[in-house]
Structures are given as structure tokens and as C-alpha cells.
Structure 1
Amino acid sequence: MVDINKRKVIRTSTISLSLDYLLRGQLSFLNNVYEVIAVSGQNEHLEKVAVREKVRIVDVQMQRAIKPLRDLLSLWKLFRLFQKEKPLIVHSITPKAGLLSMIAAYFAGVPIRIHTFTGLIFPSKTGILKRILILMDKLLCLFATNIYPEGNGVKEDLINYKITSKPLKVLVNGNVNGIDKDYFNPALYSSEDKIELRKELGILENDFVFIFVGRLVGDKGVNELIAAFERFSNEVKKIKLLLVGPFESDLDPLSSSTLGIIKSNRNIISVGFQPDVRTYFAISTALVFPSYREGFPNVVLQAGAMGLPSIVSNINGCNEIIIEGENGVIIPVKDGDAIYNAMKKMIDNDFIRNRMQQNSRLMIVSRYEQQIVWDAILAEYKRLEKNV
């Protein structure tokens, strides 16, 4: 039953999968203090949010790509929703939801308009598209009252590109939701569990398993990863590459040569999108995540909490979570040779790899435990509320 004395907080994202996975548990926590309403496109992910988080949901379809007519329709629907609900706070994540929500909330008279930048798209783009994306982020910040970069790297990019002159605040050590150390815990999986899954996937007991988790697209560095692994697997026996994530053929598809290698290389195992990635981390030896751009990647946090060292590209978020030689290896962006050399280092140097494995979970849990992040967000809401 809704408490009529609670003030309303509306959380928005472009696609409901972001609310489902990026904010798992957070909405339920905040709903103890505020009446939380989750807004995104209606599908099974938004339904899961309603059931799990016990919050009200509203269907407003938003497009990830630039679609002027559909974007205007979404903007109008958000404006009408905010007018009707009269929330204290509208808090958005993801780029398009941020732009549309902040504009709509401004004209609807919402007093606290928050956007969390979980990543920036424009630094990896060029030409007219880059200029358009920069303009969109500047507009977003213009209509927002408070801006929170997810990490210090994102904060520096916002400053360097002069996206806004408003204060920028990173909460705690960064990340939008923190890590649930009890959920992402390697101790949950017995040797028998791991042997059974390895057997199902055709992974032998002594195989060294590199894992990639995420969308199988060019921007995630998958083309370079596959080329490096193809080269490596021709030289080294008993290695596997486990790909956990969906292919996307619309926005940023993989090259035809990459797709051909994935199909033909018997040491590459692609299992598609998985709602629970923990078992796949549990049977793996190291994460490889050569993305071109991130805000503060949950995958690297999750892998670390599961005790895996990581090979990551030198980008925002990744280079904050991973400390070179302590819990992983940092490599240049878009560098297939660097991926190859880092994988070789992981396999060849048992002492370094074992030390990184021992450090991984402790270093993640000590800095990014979930309850600390949630408490910081709630405290920030309360601080802002005092000034309204």
C-alpha cells in the first residue's frame, strides 16, 4: 500500500534492462523512504523491477539512437507524467533518458533533477556525430540541477570538454550501485557445480578460461579480442574464451571476419545473454574486457568480487577499479597486440596471476560494497531535499 506521506522519486533509464541490472536492490532500498516510481519501456525487465523492488512502474518508450519524432513523443509523455505525479526528484541514468527526463522535469517544475553519467559516448566518436552528442550532454546538464559522474574519469571528461560548469560530485569511490558481496561470492559454487558446467560447455579440467561479459559489439573491443585470441589459440593448448552476452546487429555489429572466427574456432564458446553470470565467472580464470569506453563497468566489479583478475583497457572506470599488477593488467585501447601479450602474461606467470587472484575480491569489496553506495545516495537525496 502506498504511503501518501512519502515524497516521490522517479528513476528513469532509456531501456528497462538498465533499471533491472544496474540498479538491482537500490530501488527497493530507496522505496523504504520515498515512493519510488521506475520509468522505462515496458517489457519483462520492467515487470521484474516491479516485482523484485516492489515499486510502481510506468511505460515510456525511449530510443537509444537519435530519432527526432519518437524522441519528441517520449519527451511529451515524460512531461505529462511528471506533471501528474509531481515528484520531489527525477533521477536519470543512461544518455537519452537523461536528456529527455531533465528537459521534461524542468518544464514540469520538478525541484530536484539529477542525472548520473554512467558513461560518455562522445569521446570515442568523431565529426558531426561527436558534436551532436556533446550538444545533447550540454543540454542535459543545462536542465539538470545536480550532476553525478559515476567515476573520476567521467568527471574529468565532463570538465575537459566543458560540458557543464555545475559542480560535479562522485559518490563514495564511484559506481552507480556498488557490488553485492554476498551475491557475487565464489564460495557459493562448489567444485561439483563448476565441474558440471565446464563439462556442459566442453571445457576440460586443466583449461585456462578467459571470459568476456557484455554486449558483443565493436565498441567493447570484441573485434580485437577475437583476433588476439585466434592468434593465441594457435600457439597455446588448453585455453578457452568464454563469451557471455548478446550479439547486436543494429548499432555496432562485429566485423564479418570476427563472426567467422567465433563460429570456426572450437576454443571460443559463446553462450549468449545470461541473466545470471556468476556461474560463468566461477568456472573462469581471468576476465578480458578491452572496451573502448565505459563509465564505471559493473562487469569488472563483478569479476573481481568473484575472485578473477582482469585485463582491461585504459579507460574511465576500468583504470579506477583495476590497479596495475595488483588485481589486473591495464592495456591500451584498440590494441590487439596488447591483448595478446596480456593474455600470455596471465598464463605464463603463475606467481603474478595468483597474487592478483588473491587480491581481487578484497580490493573490490573494500571499496565498492553495495550498502555504502546506497547509503550515500540516500544521504544525497536528503541533503538536496533540505534545500528545496
Structure 2
Amino acid sequence: MKILILSNYANGLWLFRKELLKSFLDAGHEVLISVPPDENCVKLREYCTRIIETPLSRHGSNPVQDYGLFKGYRKMIRREKPQVVLTYTIKPNIYGGLACKLTRTPYICNITGLGVAIENGGMMSKVLIGLYKTATSRANKVFFQNERNRKFMQDRGVARKNSGLLPGSGVNLNDHPFHEYPDEAEGIHFLAVIRVMKDKGIAEYLEAADRISGEYENVHFDLVGEFEEDERAVYEPQIKALEEKGRLSYHGHLDTVEPVMAKSHVIVHPSYHEGMSNVLLEAAACGRPLLCSNIHGCIEALDPGKSGFTFDAKSADSLVSSIKKMLSLTEDERRHMGRCARDYIEKYFDRQIVIDAYKKELKKISS
């Protein structure tokens, strides 16, 4: 088959879907990838037949640009004539889905998360849900990454008859092996791997780091992640101030977070909403206890009370309480919690589950 993949970010495909892409190539399929051009495109060369660089504004909502994206997708599909199109993230899902619908091309959408614009409600949310309803109506399958997102969209008329559920993007258990729990003799390290923006819970994490560090001498906080440029001016001064006080270590953006994760003792994920948190899946695969927001997209990665604890999203007080609860355990109890986290991921989130689900859908389309 000739498979065309539409996505808004090359690095996302490489990080979370390269095994799926390789499985397509190994099966003899021709794999075309349409993504915006950036320095990460080079990573995808060995996982596809050809890259089609496609300008796309990931965060903008300019109707003229979006209409141009739709026309570009439609022209691409007519030119390339793929047997199936796979779409990821909101704009490829909507405008790629519409283009597939109008060209009568089989397509599979993956709603990796609802996004801020839909989650926050209002007129923009209604417009996007309406577009999603139209764009996915003829899809062969619409995959969701947690049950709450599926119910939310189905209650509003989206993908009522053609939905499926995936365990997020799954985890490559070979690329993310178990790491022995580090010795705590030099203190306990809490780590957050998040984009530096409000909706990822950065404000609550910074406040918790400040409060806990002021109360416990042997507790350290680390942060990995790039700034959301629109919010840099808000959070960069706070991060620098905490670094100067010795209450936070900011590592910036890292292509590979596993070395930092392996040296950490507990992973914290204070996000307001998720499709399925890859950070939590990879942290659990690493064998680390988890602290996460009590929201769908996070709680699925957790075996409650056995591999970690939850806290209320948007609440620094609740996050602080959960950190103290983790600190009340013994070192051996935290170590055992990490082992339970790995066992849970092995059982329910092996990336092969995702690959098999796509192979099943491709088989239906080709038969």
C-alpha cells in the first residue's frame, strides 16, 4: 500500500511513532510523510520513503492559512493517490480529514488530545468540534487515547460509530528499559518533563518546588522542557529566581530525557489535560514512581497507590500534599513503587499494541 501520513511535528513522529513507521516499511508499504520543515525532519529519513515538507502553523488560527492547508492537503492527495492516509493532531485531523473525505480516500485519524482550544470551551471550541464532526464522519477509524476524550467528543456527535481506543502511543520497552532506583544518600530528586506553559501545570510545579525545598533540605527539583514562546516572559523570571535560590535545576529542552529520568527518584506531571501522557508512560517504563494530575490521560498510566499517587489539577496545595505523601514513604517503598510502575506498563502499554491496531485497520482497508 501507499500510505500518506499527515502530522504537525516531525519530532513527535520520530519520538512516538517511528516503530509504527518502520513496521510499515518492513511490510513493504510505501510511506510518505507530510510535516512542516524543521531540523527534526532528518530524523525521519530512515523511517519513510519520502518526506513532503508542508508549511503548517501549529498554534495559529488564521482561517486563510488553514484554508490554504486544506487545499494543500487535497492537492497532495490527488497527486500522490495514497491507498490510505493517517492523520495526527488537530489541524491534520481536521483539514487532512476533510481533504480525504472530499477525495474519497480511506483515512484513519488519531486524536492524541483535545487541546486547549477545545478544552477551554467557548465559541472556538464549538467551531472546532463542528469541524471535527464533519472531518471524521467518513473516517475508517478515529482513534482516541483515553476514554474521557472519546466520550467528550462522542457526546458532541464526533466519531459515534467509528471510534477506537489506543493506549496512548505506547512505549518501546527496549528503547525505554528499566533502570534500578537510584540511591537516596544525596537526596531525593523530583523531575517534571513538561513544556513550560500554563496548561502543563508549570505554575503549580514551581510553587511546589519553592515550598517543599524551603521545608526539606534533602529534596531537589528538576525541570526539563522548552518554553512555549508566548508564555516565556511569565515563567522564565520565576525559573531563574528559583535556580538562584538553589530550589530548582532547569535543564532546558533535551532530545533524550532518559539519562535525567534515570537519575531521578520521582516523576511529577501536573498537566491540566492530556490525550495520553508519553512522559508518564516512559517514566513508568524507566521504573520510577509517579505523581500526576487526577485527569484522564494521566491516571491511565498509574496503578493507583501501587505505582504512584494523584493530585488535583491546577492546585499547588494538592501537589504539595502528594509530594509530602511520597516523602513519607521509606526508600524501599519508593523503590518497590517504581518496580510496580514498570510491571504495569509492560502489561498494558507495550507499543506493539498500537502497531497491531493499525495493522488491523490497514488489513480491513486493503481487503
Amino acid at match of 2:20: Q
Contact 1:222 1:254 in 2 (8 A): no
1:56 CA displacement: 1.3
Structural mapping, 1:26-175, within 5 Å: 26-33=20-27, 34-51=29-46, 53-64=47-58, 65-110=60-105, 112-121=106-115, 122=117, 124-171=119-166, 174-175=167-168
C-alpha distance in 1, partners of 2:20/2:70?
25
**Correspondence 1:379 to 2:355:** no
C-alpha distance in 1, partners of 2:302/2:216?
26
Q: CA RMSD in A?
A: 2.2
C-alpha distance in 2, partners of 1:107/1:123?
25
1:163 CA displacement: 2.8
C-alpha distance in 2, partners of 1:260/1:128?
37
Point out where structure 1 has 5 or more consecutive residues left out of the alignment: 1-6, 196-203
Runs of 4+ in 1 over 6 A off after TM superposition: none
C-alpha distance in 1, partners of 2:124/2:238?
26
Amino acid at match of 2:171: I
Label 1:83 to 1:123 Cα distance change in 2 as closer, same or farther (>3 A).
closer
1:130 CA displacement: 2.5
Amino acid at match of 1:114: I
C-alpha distance in 2, partners of 1:276/1:259?
21
Contact 1:149 1:170 in 2 (8 A): yes
Label 1:47 to 1:321 Cα distance change in 2 as closer, same or farther (>3 A).
same
Structural mapping, 1:231-270, within 5 Å: 231-250=211-230, 254-255=234-235, 258-259=238-239, 261-270=241-250
Q: TM-score with structure 1 length normalisation?
A: 0.87
1:10 CA displacement: 0.8
Contact 1:15 1:62 in 2 (8 A): no
Show the counterpart of 1:25: 19
1:366 CA displacement: 1.5
Contact 1:247 1:253 in 2 (8 A): no
1:35 CA displacement: 0.9
1:132-161 CA-to-partner distances (Å, cap 9, x unmatched) read 332332233235342111222221222233
Label 1:332 to 1:138 Cα distance change in 2 as closer, same or farther (>3 A).
same
Q: Which piece of structure 1 moves more, 61-70 or 280-289?
A: 61-70
C-alpha distance in 2, partners of 1:287/1:256?
21
What number of residue pairs does the alignment pair up? 363
1:108 CA displacement: 2.6
1:204-234 CA-to-partner distances (Å, cap 9, x unmatched) read 9512101111211111001011111211111
C-alpha distance in 2, partners of 1:15/1:67?
19
Match of 2:320 among 321, 334, 340: 340
**Correspondence 1:367 to 2:348:** yes
Show the counterpart of 1:3: none
Show the counterpart of 1:271: 251
1:260 CA displacement: 5.2
Contact 2:30 2:48 in 1 (8 A): no
Amino acid at match of 2:57: Q
Q: Which piece of structure 1 moves more, 125-134 or 58-67?
A: 125-134
Contact 2:132 2:158 in 1 (8 A): yes
1:49-83 CA-to-partner distances (Å, cap 9, x unmatched) read 113x1431101111122122222222222111110
Show the counterpart of 2:173: 181
Q: TM-score with structure 2 length normalisation?
A: 0.92
Label 1:271 to 1:252 Cα distance change in 2 as closer, same or farther (>3 A).
closer
Contact 2:140 2:162 in 1 (8 A): no
1:37 CA displacement: 0.8
Amino acid at match of 1:318: C
C-alpha distance in 2, partners of 1:138/1:323?
34
